[in-house]
A and B are shown apart, each in its own frame.
Chain A
Amino acid sequence: MAAEELPSEFDVVILGTGLAESVVAAAFSRVGQRVLHLDRRSYYAGNWASFTFNALLTWIQEHHEESQPEEVQDWSSLLEEGEELIYLSTRGSSSITNLQVFCYASEEDEEEEAPNTTEEDQGGDDEVKETPETESADSNEEEKKQKAGGTPAEEEEEQASQTEGEEPTTSAGQSQSEPTRKKISFAQLVKEGRRFNIDLVSKLMYSRGSLVDLLIKSNVSRYAEFKNVTRILTYRDGKVEQVPCSRADVFASRQLSVVEKRKLMRFLTSCVEETEEQRAYNGRPYLEFLCDQKLGDNLQHFLLHSIAMVTEDTPTEEGLASTRHFLRCLGRYGNTPFLFPVYGLGEIPQCFCRMCAVFGGIYCLRHSVSCLLLDKDTNRCKAVIDSRGQRISCSHFVVEDGFIGADWKREATPTRYLSRAVLITDSSILPSDSDQQVSMVTVPPIAAGCPAVKMVELCPSTMTCMPGTYLVHLTCQSAGSAYQDLSPVVTRMFRTPESHDQESSPTVLWCLYFNMADGSGLEGEGHDLPNNVFLCSGPDAGLGHEHAVRQAQAIFQKILPEEEFCPPAPNPEDIVYDGDNNSPSTPGDGETLEGEEEETPEGEEKVEGEEKEEKVEGEVAKEEKVEGEVEKEEKVEGEVEKEEQSLQTEE
């Protein structure tokens, strides 16, 4: 952290580096606003962050420690005439609860563990899932004292073994035995910990969703690489099946009869346009509409749970809208509608921060805002006082809602929560020819009243987990604690000491459960703060990023209604540097005769199975970049370095 003082005047001060805040920061900076972007944490992206394994362990530990309320300093000495102070919340956000960790990997590298039969017996005995004697535990809950069952003592032992790297629980060691496969120990996970990039929030990018559009439009996409989600899976009748969704999938599918193939394709092509027939079902459940299409159980399941990803009582118009969205996104970058950023979702907010920094935004981590200075006459926030007591004037203040005390929020509605589980497993949920599958798995409610779970399985080539492991994210709307909501699914689909008879399922090496506040409830204006203060919510339950992008855009447009939201960043060679007008330095542009900067035709993007003419040259260049093409990469690199420096010096 820089020791020198910050400039004392900014157009916009932003506290919190979550996705919405970062997009807002980039948008303002891009149009020439002076932006100061702060985060109290030592890392970017808040609840949108991705952690290495070790950093995640630290994060878990921090959340277990009772966070000490910092001493509220009295900054009233800095007040001027007609001003009033609003103190921000100094405590950590209450957005994470019910943290529980289980380690099933052996502690040390032990190669020769005997296949363990007692494990199965034990599992068989432990019929009652709520009180498994050895494994289950409950967390050192910080806020909510929701019981997941089990003994706190055990849990603490678990925790200790996590963080200090000692002493495995006995059954954890046993659970993990398969002589043919080299097992991965906890020590290895820690040793290879930096190969993990574990997202706190699990989302995917719809390839025609607002985030991808924004990344392309703003040229922020050049800062990241993306991978296709390679397949859509679903859990049905105790089995994991692949969901055929693109034309090629349907063609290749072995589980559908040819007649089903036809019906599915016909349904998918016909539902793209709204018909009279569909309107007749408005207000009635989508399931009913599907039933009446006489598609059969197979297809109905796929369409409802995996393609529309809605529940049985979702109304038809909503189900169709989400089906259409899914279909629109197909085929832009591959056979599924989704992209996933290499190195994890935490990259995305950082990319926008980088864009902000490139255009002059100033960044400080571990640096917060203590209070706002309110002009009593205008009821506007004139300035902020940072955590070091510096008064910084600003015309707008954007803040992550976690920093705002509950008393300022108008909504009295109880916060909704998401249940999250993060598993590190030793194999894929559906092994295939390729071990580089990125899978989106929909798990319909396994019993009445259970939530529908969205699961994303990431392979090592997404750079989110170490070779030999898979990273699995489970997400659902909370009904109880994360453990209560998700462990039944985990137990069924994976091999843990609690699961019965699941030889072929992937073994869970390590897992984490927690609840996170659902940001979708918050509206930008649901507060009594001055009208130039804007709240950004944390991650929402949606699979895409629409909520955060919409929020960021709304804030931007309220403040600067005349300005364009994230216009394309200019190419480096078009930027005029002061005193450098005569030679715009563009590396590697000297000697060749090559014509205009033509992009080589790369990556065919077919649009929803349209088969028109042969694809020739001249694919739109900027979209290619999203696929992480080599060609432009080189060009960007130099520039990135430059920016990196600027980021560093500014912090």
Chain B
Amino acid sequence: MHGRVKVKSTAQQEEEKRKEREKKLKIYVAARDACFSKRKEGIWDDEALQVTQQLLSSNPDFATLWNYRREILMHLETVRDEEEVQKIYQAELSFLESCLKVNPKSYGSWHHRGWVSTRLPRPDWARELGLCDRCLSLDDRNFHCWDYRRMVVKMSGVPVDQELAFTDRLIGSNFSNYSSWHYRSTLLPLLHPESPEPHSPCREPRRASPPPSPQTHSHRVCEEQLLKEYELVQNAFFTDPNDQSAWFYYRWLLGRAEREEMISCVYVSRDEERVAVAFSRPVNAQSVGLLLVLDGQPQRVEWRSVHPRFKHSPVWICDLPPGTISDVTNEHNLTVHWTEKHTHRDCALYTGRSESWCRDSATDQELFRSELSVEKTSVLQSELQSCNQLQELEPLNKWCLLTIILLMRALDPLGYEKETLAHFQTLKEVDSMRSAYYSDLCSKFMIENTILKMEYAEVRVFSISDKNLTTLCHLDQLLLVTHINLSSNQLQRLPPQFAMLQCLEVLEADNNSIDNLEGLFHLPKLEEVLLKNNQISTLADLQPLASCPKLKRLDLRGNPVTQTANIESELTELLPSVTDLQL
């Protein structure tokens, strides 16, 4: 049509582009080969800098070239004076900027920038911070930039409060950002460290407050600041309850107390001439300098974990030299020293007693409350209130439900048991993909509650039947239990940790789906094992029982293994001590 502007046809354009690409490729390949041969010859000159620059500006992810470039620069450092070096590196920085524009997530460019920044005689950190801020404003999740920024901050000593303000800004513009929240969690303890007074018995006694530094600082934050943080993060999760980053930060705020490292229990059995020691966390007793002193005499004993699978375990046992405590008429005083931690625990075995122990119980330690370690109940209570408020508005929000459960546990695990179970039920429905996770978590909480109940009742019977347990945990807390009832749950195995139940005499585990008895390993006092209606299908599955010397009664009714030919005779052979076998 008349007057219409003529535009190149697509084919024309394509052809032109193709030719151009070809031309570029030729140049590129030639330049690359030139670089390689120069490097081989060990030439570190300006020309090489130029050629690598050309190549890298079109392809900043060419690691070999960056390496070559660093070699050249390091060489130049030796032959040029400082002023020139400064200039060269500054030019390098602006070149890098253009590379970052091509690919803001190029590993090579960011790494090289970090390298250059540290070698620059007179670095301009403010400029680098500005660059990072610009990059982050374009993409606030560019982790390369976050990394580089951390380096810059460290090198230039940006005050912590400024950095906190920086996270304020980023969170303000978009709170769905783990990086900012996480950065905040590292800054707050530096800026507002927890006051030094211990708040609860389980808190480790403070030594002279160390200067704030990332290595030595406590990970907790003072109460006053915490309250502000709660408000901030509540704003985030009320605004968007489906955004997980805020919830995770909230979990961090509510916090996990670090348990004091200690020997939580020492148990001594006269009959077995054996000592069992429980620690507050899994340790390798062979290497932590554990010392057993009996009646003032250090003993050479060999510590072993309850199951050969564990190099680290919360429970360790040792056999005393034969005859040392076997006489019931003697009283013995036993001390276990954990030399590494300067802590110890005494235990007296009185005359006429066949066993003895000394320990802090789970209730003494408020063990299961401390998972969220905010000290003041009132704070937790008000947090629970706001979460409940949110839950009313968003009854199906999983993050909210889960947080409510945690808060309830921190406040009163037994009192809120019913609500907790109901919330777990909802969780499994709204987030069915993770129902197994919720089941396990629920099992854990039920076990904790049962332990608490048992402790309050001051008995050695642990009974938790018909609670839909899917997993067993906290077994180290059951070191003294003699009777355990796990009937009518959904357990599939008795894991190796089960071997920590060193005092166990009777195990009831009817009506589960257990097909693995690995944990019934060297339990010195185990006499009865009731496993009706489980999934034990081969004789080999029963092999671990052979290590329990006192086993007398075994009920295997309703297990597939009972259909095996010659089962009875095989079993008699395998477990000669069993006198009451039910198949």
Contacts and interface: CB of A to CB of B under 8 A. Distances in A.
Interface of A: 31-34, 247-248, 250-252, 258-259, 261-263, 265-266, 359-360, 570, 574-576, 592-596, 598, 600-604, 606, 609, 611, 614-617
Contacts of B131: none
A574 B7 contact: yes
B545 to A, nearest CB: 52
B101 interface: yes
Interface of B: 1-8, 13, 17, 21, 24, 27-28, 31, 54-55, 57-58, 101-105, 138-139, 141-142, 172-176, 234-236, 238-241, 243, 386, 389-390, 393-394
B172 A593 contact: no
A217 to B, nearest CB: 16
Contacts of B3: 32-34, 359-360
A317 to B, nearest CB: 26
Contacts of A259: 238, 389-390, 393
Contact of A593 (B54, B101, B104, B139): B54
Contacts of B4: 31-32
Given A32-B2, A262-B390, A603 B138 contact: yes
7 contacts: A251-B239, A252-B172, A575-B5, A575-B6, A576-B6, A593-B28, A616-B105
A592 B31 CA distance: 12
Contacts of B105: 616-617
Contacts of A33: 3
Contact of A262 (B1, B138, B139, B394): B394
Contacts of A615: 139, 141
Nearest to B236: A251
A593 B13 contact: no
A600 to B, nearest CB: 4
Given A574-B7, A593-B57, A604 B139 contact: yes
Nearest to B58: A593
B393 A34 contact: no
Contact of B138 (A266, A359, A602, A609): A602
A248 B139 contact: no
B393 A266 contact: yes
Contacts of A266: 393-394
Given A604-B138, A604-B139, A615-B139, A265 B239 contact: yes
Nearest to B139: A615
B104 A601 contact: yes
List 6 A-B pairs, minimum CB-CB distance, nearest first. A32-B4, A258-B238, A32-B1, A600-B101, A576-B6, A570-B7
Interface centre among B142, B174, B389 (most CB of A within 10 A): B174
Contact of A576 (B8, B55, B141, B172): B8
Given A574-B7, A595-B21, 15 more contacts: A248-B173, A251-B172, A258-B235, A258-B386, A258-B389, A261-B238, A261-B239, A262-B394, A359-B3, A359-B5, A575-B8, A592-B58, A601-B104, A609-B240, A615-B139
Given A32-B4, A251-B172, A593-B54, A262 B238 contact: yes
Contacts of A604: 138-139
B243 A611 contact: yes
Contacts of A592: 54, 57-58
Contacts of B142: 614
A596 B17 contact: yes
Contacts of A261: 235, 238-239
Contacts of A262: 238-239, 241, 390, 393-394
B5 A598 contact: no
Contacts of A31: 1, 4
A251 B175 contact: yes
A574 B8 contact: yes
A581 B236 CA distance: 60
Contacts of B238: 258-259, 261-262, 265
A259 B389 CA distance: 8
Interface centre among A251, A259, A262, A266 (most CB of B within 10 A): A251
Contact of B24 (A574, A593, A611): A593
Contacts of A359: 3, 5
A617 B103 contact: yes
Nearest to A593: B58
Given A570-B5, A574-B13, A593-B31, A600 B102 contact: yes
Contacts of A252: 172, 235
Nearest to A260: B238
Contact of A601 (B13, B24, B27, B138): B138
Nearest to A599: B101
Given A262-B390, A593-B24, A248 B174 contact: yes
A594 B3 CA distance: 35
B235 A595 contact: no
A603 B142 CA distance: 14
Nearest to A615: B139
A258 B250 CA distance: 15
Contact of B7 (A247, A576, A611, A614): A576
